[in-house]
Protein backbone atom coordinates (compact mmCIF):
# COMPACT_ATOMS: atom_id res chain seq x y z
CA UNK A 1 0.00 0.00 0.00
CA UNK A 2 1.40 3.37 -1.03
CA UNK A 3 1.47 6.10 1.57
CA UNK A 4 -0.62 9.28 1.40
CA UNK A 5 1.33 12.53 1.76
CA UNK A 6 -0.63 15.38 3.30
CA UNK A 7 0.43 18.96 3.95
CA UNK A 8 2.73 19.85 6.78
CA UNK A 9 4.90 16.78 6.18
CA UNK A 10 2.20 14.36 7.38
CA UNK A 11 2.52 10.93 5.76
CA UNK A 12 -0.03 8.17 6.27
CA UNK A 13 1.86 4.91 5.92
CA UNK A 14 -1.29 2.78 6.13
CA UNK A 15 -4.13 4.88 4.68
CA UNK A 16 -6.33 1.82 4.24
CA UNK A 17 -6.31 1.15 7.99
CA UNK A 18 -7.19 4.80 8.70
CA UNK A 19 -10.04 4.72 6.16
CA UNK A 20 -11.44 1.46 7.52
CA UNK A 21 -11.31 2.76 11.09
CA UNK A 22 -13.27 5.85 10.03
CA UNK A 23 -15.88 3.84 8.12
CA UNK A 24 -16.37 1.47 11.05
CA UNK A 25 -16.68 4.38 13.51
CA UNK A 26 -19.12 6.33 11.30
CA UNK A 27 -21.23 3.83 9.35
CA UNK A 28 -24.24 4.78 7.28
CA UNK A 29 -23.51 8.09 5.57
CA UNK A 30 -21.47 6.64 2.73
CA UNK A 31 -23.71 3.65 2.10
CA UNK A 32 -26.87 5.49 1.02
CA UNK A 33 -27.28 5.94 -2.76
CA UNK A 34 -28.50 9.33 -3.99
CA UNK A 35 -30.46 10.42 -7.05
CA UNK A 36 -27.98 12.64 -8.87
CA UNK A 37 -30.65 14.79 -10.60
CA UNK A 38 -32.92 15.89 -7.76
CA UNK A 39 -32.32 17.83 -4.56
CA UNK A 40 -34.86 17.82 -1.75
CA UNK A 41 -35.35 17.54 2.00
CA UNK A 42 -34.14 13.92 2.02
CA UNK A 43 -30.70 15.13 0.92
CA UNK A 44 -30.55 17.59 3.80
CA UNK A 45 -31.71 14.98 6.31
CA UNK A 46 -29.05 12.61 4.96
CA UNK A 47 -26.44 15.35 5.42
CA UNK A 48 -27.54 15.59 9.05
CA UNK A 49 -26.76 11.88 9.46
CA UNK A 50 -23.27 12.84 8.28
CA UNK A 51 -22.98 15.46 11.03
CA UNK A 52 -24.20 18.57 9.17
CA UNK A 53 -26.66 19.70 11.88
CA UNK A 54 -28.89 21.61 9.47
CA UNK A 55 -31.82 23.04 11.43
CA UNK A 56 -35.44 23.06 10.28
CA UNK A 57 -35.19 26.80 9.55
CA UNK A 58 -32.02 26.24 7.50
CA UNK A 59 -33.66 23.35 5.62
CA UNK A 60 -36.53 25.67 4.71
CA UNK A 61 -34.06 28.30 3.52
CA UNK A 62 -32.20 25.80 1.33
CA UNK A 63 -35.41 24.39 -0.11
CA UNK A 64 -36.46 27.88 -1.20
CA UNK A 65 -33.48 27.64 -3.57
CA UNK A 66 -34.31 24.11 -4.72
CA UNK A 67 -35.02 25.07 -8.35
CA UNK A 68 -31.77 26.99 -8.66
CA UNK A 69 -29.80 24.17 -6.99
CA UNK A 70 -31.30 21.52 -9.26
CA UNK A 71 -30.62 23.61 -12.40
CA UNK A 72 -27.00 23.99 -11.30
CA UNK A 73 -26.75 20.25 -10.58
CA UNK A 74 -28.13 19.42 -14.04
CA UNK A 75 -25.33 21.50 -15.58
CA UNK A 76 -22.73 19.19 -14.01
CA UNK A 77 -22.38 15.64 -15.32
CA UNK A 78 -23.23 13.05 -12.66
CA UNK A 79 -19.83 11.41 -13.24
CA UNK A 80 -17.82 14.65 -13.06
CA UNK A 81 -14.60 14.08 -11.18
CA UNK A 82 -11.99 16.14 -9.40
CA UNK A 83 -9.45 13.45 -10.33
CA UNK A 84 -9.31 14.47 -14.00
CA UNK A 85 -7.74 17.44 -15.78
CA UNK A 86 -10.98 19.02 -17.02
CA UNK A 87 -13.08 20.04 -14.02
CA UNK A 88 -16.33 22.04 -14.51
CA UNK A 89 -15.15 24.91 -12.30
CA UNK A 90 -17.64 27.49 -13.60
CA UNK A 91 -20.63 25.19 -13.12
CA UNK A 92 -19.37 24.16 -9.68
CA UNK A 93 -19.12 27.82 -8.64
CA UNK A 94 -22.70 28.42 -9.84
CA UNK A 95 -23.87 25.44 -7.78
CA UNK A 96 -22.11 26.76 -4.68
CA UNK A 97 -23.50 30.25 -5.35
CA UNK A 98 -27.01 28.81 -5.10
CA UNK A 99 -26.34 28.43 -1.34
CA UNK A 100 -24.98 31.95 -0.81
CA UNK A 101 -26.51 34.05 1.96
CA UNK A 102 -28.64 31.28 3.45
CA UNK A 103 -28.40 32.08 7.13
CA UNK A 104 -26.53 29.39 9.05
CA UNK A 105 -25.50 27.42 5.96
CA UNK A 106 -21.80 27.53 5.19
CA UNK A 107 -19.37 25.35 3.30
CA UNK A 108 -19.64 22.40 5.69
CA UNK A 109 -23.42 22.02 5.58
CA UNK A 110 -23.57 22.76 1.87
CA UNK A 111 -20.94 20.23 0.83
CA UNK A 112 -22.26 17.52 3.15
CA UNK A 113 -25.59 17.87 1.34
CA UNK A 114 -24.03 18.07 -2.14
CA UNK A 115 -21.31 15.42 -1.87
CA UNK A 116 -23.65 12.45 -2.51
CA UNK A 117 -24.94 14.22 -5.64
CA UNK A 118 -21.45 14.48 -7.19
CA UNK A 119 -19.30 12.19 -5.02
CA UNK A 120 -16.26 12.22 -7.31
CA UNK A 121 -16.29 16.02 -7.57
CA UNK A 122 -17.40 17.64 -4.30
CA UNK A 123 -15.46 17.04 -1.07
CA UNK A 124 -17.04 17.64 2.30
CA UNK A 125 -15.53 20.91 3.46
CA UNK A 126 -16.20 20.58 7.16
CA UNK A 127 -14.34 22.70 9.68
CA UNK A 128 -11.35 20.31 9.93
CA UNK A 129 -10.90 20.17 6.16
CA UNK A 130 -11.26 23.96 5.86
CA UNK A 131 -8.56 24.51 8.50
CA UNK A 132 -6.34 22.06 6.63
CA UNK A 133 -6.87 23.86 3.28
CA UNK A 134 -6.91 27.54 4.28
CA UNK A 135 -3.15 28.06 4.66
CA UNK A 136 -2.80 27.14 0.98
CA UNK A 137 -5.84 29.06 -0.30
CA UNK A 138 -6.15 32.80 -0.79
CA UNK A 139 -9.92 33.08 -0.70
CA UNK A 140 -11.89 35.54 -2.83
CA UNK A 141 -14.95 37.28 -1.39
CA UNK A 142 -18.10 35.83 -3.08
CA UNK A 143 -19.39 32.64 -1.42
CA UNK A 144 -19.30 30.42 -4.52
CA UNK A 145 -15.82 31.55 -5.49
CA UNK A 146 -14.51 30.96 -1.96
CA UNK A 147 -15.93 27.43 -1.95
CA UNK A 148 -14.46 26.73 -5.38
CA UNK A 149 -11.07 28.07 -4.27
CA UNK A 150 -11.09 25.56 -1.41
CA UNK A 151 -11.98 22.74 -3.81
CA UNK A 152 -9.17 23.82 -6.17
CA UNK A 153 -6.78 23.70 -3.24
CA UNK A 154 -8.16 20.27 -2.30
CA UNK A 155 -7.49 19.06 -5.85
CA UNK A 156 -3.77 19.70 -5.35
CA UNK A 157 -3.70 17.07 -2.60
CA UNK A 158 -5.86 14.72 -4.69
CA UNK A 159 -3.54 15.04 -7.68
CA UNK A 160 -0.42 14.54 -5.57
CA UNK A 161 -1.84 11.30 -4.08
CA UNK A 162 -3.90 10.01 -7.01
CA UNK A 163 -2.18 6.60 -7.40
CA UNK A 164 -2.29 5.86 -3.67
CA UNK A 165 -5.93 6.95 -3.41
CA UNK A 166 -6.88 4.65 -6.30
CA UNK A 167 -5.16 1.80 -4.52
CA UNK A 168 -7.10 2.52 -1.31
CA UNK A 169 -10.31 2.77 -3.34
CA UNK A 170 -9.75 -0.68 -4.87
CA UNK A 171 -9.03 -2.23 -1.48
CA UNK A 172 -12.11 -0.63 0.07
CA UNK A 173 -14.25 -1.88 -2.84
CA UNK A 174 -13.02 -5.41 -2.14
CA UNK A 175 -14.42 -4.96 1.37
CA UNK A 176 -17.78 -3.66 0.14
CA UNK A 177 -17.19 0.10 0.43
CA UNK A 178 -17.87 2.13 -2.73
CA UNK A 179 -16.07 5.43 -2.13
CA UNK A 180 -14.51 7.89 -4.55
CA UNK A 181 -10.97 9.17 -4.26
CA UNK A 182 -12.46 12.53 -3.21
CA UNK A 183 -14.28 10.96 -0.26
CA UNK A 184 -11.31 8.85 0.75
CA UNK A 185 -9.01 11.88 0.87
CA UNK A 186 -11.70 13.76 2.77
CA UNK A 187 -11.97 11.17 5.53
CA UNK A 188 -8.18 10.80 5.74
CA UNK A 189 -7.74 14.57 6.19
CA UNK A 190 -10.59 14.62 8.71
CA UNK A 191 -9.04 11.74 10.68
CA UNK A 192 -5.63 13.42 10.85
CA UNK A 193 -7.02 16.86 11.73
CA UNK A 194 -9.42 15.49 14.36
CA UNK A 195 -6.57 13.58 16.00
CA UNK A 196 -4.45 16.74 16.29
CA UNK A 197 -7.31 19.01 17.48
> What are the boundaries of each domain within the chain?
4-196
pLDDT digits (tens, 9 = 90+) for 79-115: 999 999 999 999 999 999 999 999 999 999 999 999 9
> Is 186 in contact with 124 (CB distance < 8 Å)?
yes
Q: What is the pLDDT, as a whole number, of residue 138?
A: 67
pLDDT at 113: 96
**Could you tell me the pTM of the whole model?**
0.92
Residues belonging to the chain: 197
CB burial readout 5-34, b (16+ within 10 A) else e: ebeeeeebeebbebbbebbeeeeebbeeeb
**104-153 residue pLDDT tens:** 999 999 999 999 999 999 999 999 999 999 865 566 789 999 999 999 99
Straight-line distance from the first to the last Cα atom of the chain, in angstroms, rounded to the nearest whole number: 27
pLDDT digit string, tens, across residues 22-38: 999 887 777 666 787 79
Amino acid sequence: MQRICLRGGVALEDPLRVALAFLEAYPGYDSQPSDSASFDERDLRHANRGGARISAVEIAGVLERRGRIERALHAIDADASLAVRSVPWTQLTLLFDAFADIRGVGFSKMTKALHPKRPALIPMLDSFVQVYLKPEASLPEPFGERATALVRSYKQDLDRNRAALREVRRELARRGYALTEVRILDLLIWSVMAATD
